[in-house]
Structure 1
């Protein structure tokens, strides 16, 4: 926010806003969907760090999420923040990506101590000379499409079985899945039967829940 007497946003401010806008928008949509007073952590948390990965500032949501991570639990000793190992790794990947102009993904997904899946993403603001100015870490609850590939791998699902699950996520019927994947309805039912067996579930709803819910 800017008051009337404050200075305008700088180019660096605008780059920072551009780096986090998609994750902030996702958090706002989730908050609107869950309503005011929903459970903690529905929106993303944001951490800014210097070029060495040392935290400068963070939102309360970020502090709650960081406290849920496993490695090097987040703590605040005498006012000095330290990032958990997983978060620091993402921050360093973001810096390397900005410095080397490589298209390496500065992100990761993992399960916190609470059992919920969390997604961490990193990005950087840079000076006009191309030097890293600040590193931004966005952390929030993973969405189903982010969790599905990991659990599909854990359960040993085939590529076609993952296609069927993707269709089930959209509430597609057997006939709709058959048309979408250009296979017979009998084959769809066979895939669903195999999916239920591999995941130890008894219904399509339970199957989707096991594969996507944090």
Structure 2
């Protein structure tokens, strides 16, 4: 992209293509229309996917559009839209005031169990991938998001955005998989990953191990 304006228009066109069409008649449209033609579990994720698209579209006009770091973890979680077209990645970082997460991102907030966390201020990170099919680019929301309490990179809370993935046995421990996937987007999650690894190792210790 040659300019911020080019990036904005490019993303807007991808969003329009993804949510266009009629999901009831299954005519036209992109990814959302594909979801509408899928099984009931995937169709139940349409509100969350649509919300991710519309939030990205809404904040495109008011957020700084920057280049997503290629080989380093995102150090500054300031509200912005991060784009890496070559690596086919997009991240929306959205500022969430206290007690506002459920008002701004209702469907995504359903993926958080803790009401205490939902009430906290922070940064909501929504990752998207760009897939090319038959020479056409498609903007696809990832099945997870992340909430950084108080905007602190060390306080990462994964969010299950598209719940239908749990129907796949490979996603039994979706939190661990989400944290691994976050590395692809250079999202900070080291402390959360370490905590999950320690908990997993502890659960695999044989009975009586602590007393040996």
TM-score, normalisation: structure 1: 0.32
Larger Rg: 1
More helix by share: 1
TM-score where L is the length of structure 2: 0.32
